């Protein structure tokens, strides 16, 4: 066995151990619960723009993008644009004509200006509108035509109904071997008092939408290896791998 193969085997063994360690998983949930009260995800930038993501989740996305090599990445939810810049930087490393498309119902003028003047702006396109509107979905379907590999990230409105509709609209665009990542599924596992002045919470969130979606869609499976090796993630049960054409 080659040295790279031996190392990969060791990593796989480590991940299986993490899957079996219930105490460590519980401890990680406690850590996430407590750090969320301090808006931990707000502390980080990617190439100058606030990303509002856990660094651990960006590491996982980096691994997926490098392995899948998508030529189109769709993300719902733009905020300050750090995630768009992250995706664009990965596509820049891959080369080719890869494109990132961000969708948001309200793209603030100052955020748009900062994104558009970024050195990686040429790889980014923004669409202002609701991600569950038919007109928005039609634009994204048109952009996906002819693309060999498409990856989708959902991170906008976190209600059950909204995320379920996003899953129904955009899952057909995801290509076999690629991923549909649903962020903030952790809401289901957090205390209700962590979510204030929002329409979502335990029982009404991205994880409940994923569960309903997977009851009828067999193209996707939850990649538990990603969640296990991260331990710290906002997307438990949200790393969906496309296993069928």
Give residue 196's pLDDT.
82
Q: What is the pLDDT of residue 158?
A: 98
CATH fold of 3-242 = Rossmann fold (3.40.50)
Share above pLDDT 70 across residues of the chain, in percent, rounded to a whole number? 100
Model confidence at 195: pLDDT above 90: no
pLDDT score for 194? 87
CA distance 136 to 180: 18
Alpha-carbon distance of 103 to 96, in angstroms, equals: 22
Can you say whether residue 129 is alpha, beta or left, with left for phi > 0 and alpha for psi between -120 and 50 degrees?
A: left
What integer pLDDT is reported at residue 197 of this predicted model?
87
| Tens digit of each residue's pLDDT (9 = 90 or more) over 13-47 | 999 999 999 999 999 999 999 999 999 999 999 99
- pLDDT tens for each residue of 105-159: 999 999 999 999 999 999 999 999 999 999 999 999 999 999 999 999 999 999 9
pLDDT band at 52 (very low <50, low <70, confident <90, very high): very high
Q: Is the pLDDT of residue 103 over 90?
A: yes
- pLDDT tens-digit series, residues 154-173: 999 999 999 999 999 999 99
Query: Does pTM top 0.95 for this prediction?
Result: yes
* Helix 82-94 with 55-68: angle, nearest 10 deg: 30
pLDDT of residue 114: 98
Tens-digit pLDDT profile for residues 201-223: 999 999 999 999 999 999 999 99
Domain ranges, ordered by start, for the chain: 3-242
Q: What is the three-state SS of the chain?
A: CCHHHHHHHHHHHHHHHHHHCHHHHHHHHHHHHHHHCCCHHHHCEECCEECCCCHHHHHHHHHHHHHHCCCEEEEECCCCCHHHHHHHHHHHHHCCCCEEEEEECCCCHHHHHHHHCCCCHHHEEEEECCCCCHHHHHHHHHHHCCCCCEEEEECCCCCHHHHHHHHHHHHHHCCCCCEEEECCHHHHHCCHHHCCCCCCECCECHHHHHHHHHHHCCCEEECHHHHHHHCCCCCCCCEEEECCC
Q: Assess contact for 154 and 182: CB atoms under 8 A.
A: yes
């Amino acid at each position: 066995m080659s040295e790279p193969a031996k190392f990969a085997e060791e990593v796989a063994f480590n991940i299986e151990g993490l899957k079996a360690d219930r105490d460590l998983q519980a401890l990680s949930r406690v850590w996430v619960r407590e750090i969320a009260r301090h808006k931990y995800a707000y502390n980080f930038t990617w190439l100058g723009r606030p990303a509002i993501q856990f660094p651990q989740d960006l590491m996982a996305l980096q691994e997926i993008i490098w392995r899948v090599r998508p030529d189109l990445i769709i993300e719902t939810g733009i905020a300050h644009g750090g995630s768009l810049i992250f995706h664009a930087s990965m596509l820049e490393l891959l080369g080719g004509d890869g494109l990132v498309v961000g969708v948001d119902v309200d793209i603030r003028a100052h955020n748009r200006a900062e994104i558009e003047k970024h050195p990686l702006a040429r790889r980014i396109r923004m669409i202002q509108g609701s991600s569950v509107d038919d007109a928005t979905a039609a634009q994204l379907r048109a952009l996906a035509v002819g693309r060999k590999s498409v990856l989708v990230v959902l991170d906008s409105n976190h209600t059950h109904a909204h995320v379920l509709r996003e899953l129904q609209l955009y899952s057909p665009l995801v290509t076999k071997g690629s991923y549909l990542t649903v962020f903030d599924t952790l809401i289901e596992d957090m205390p209700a008092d962590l979510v204030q002045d929002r329409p979502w919470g335990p029982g009404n969130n991205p994880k409940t939408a994923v569960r309903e979606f997977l009851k009828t869609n067999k193209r996707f499976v939850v990649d538990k290896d990603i969640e296990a090796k991260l331990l710290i993630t906002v997307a438990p049960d949200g790393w969906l791998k496309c296993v069928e054409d």
